[in-house]
Structure 1
Amino acid sequence: MTISRKARMLHIIEQLENYTGQMSEDVKTNLLQAKEKLETLQEEDVEQLTDKVVSRPATELAINLQTPENLLHSCYDELERLAQSNTAPSHLQEAVQEMRYYFSIEEQDGFFP
């Protein structure tokens, strides 16, 4: 049985919520918005928003930065920095690792971008 994208993103967000005291206001806001949007969308709607299938020419496409997936992805850089610190809890590191898997972020030269 596969876990839906909606469930995966909600799980990541819920893990990260335990560490909001260490995050900037922008990241907290993006996580909250992503969670609220995910909770209001049906699983089919989330799958459609995240499937990367388009039927229009590239010149007509616009990137919606306010989708739950894009909001979550926009938090990655700061969360990665937090997870890299020596005092980062292992659960935060695990949540960031799940983000890497979800977004297919690959290691480059021993470091994650």
Structure 2
Amino acid sequence: MSFVDTVQMLELRTKKAAGLIAMLRKEKAELQERFDLVNTHNAELEEYVEKFTTSNKLIEDSIANAMENLATIEGLDDIPLMDDAALELEAAEGFSVGDSNGSDEIDLDILLDESPSL
């Protein structure tokens, strides 16, 4: 191989290397953009989680306060309920303690018929 051939091959390899470096820089810039976007999204999600946790704590505190207020009302448990409300309350009580009627299926038509209209 002559000196001229060696120089031409070196020039060709240099051009290939420069092209590869340019391609890698472009890919790095694209990846950096995606990384920045993910970081921004992550920060938004962290803020959302913090707000949700705060809201959840406020709701829990409000429910606890309401339960304490209800507990101070004497004779509240002695007030009879209307028949439908008593059945619903009994079903809710059974559901909350783990009793069930054995069926996991819900008839949406009946549920929609029994729901109050909005």
| TM-score in terms of structure 2 length | 0.21
Q: Which has the higher helix share?
A: 2
Q: Which structure: larger Rg?
A: 2
| TM-score in terms of structure 1 length | 0.22
Q: Give the structure, 1 or 2, with the largest relative contact order (CA under 8 Å, sep 6 or more).
A: 1
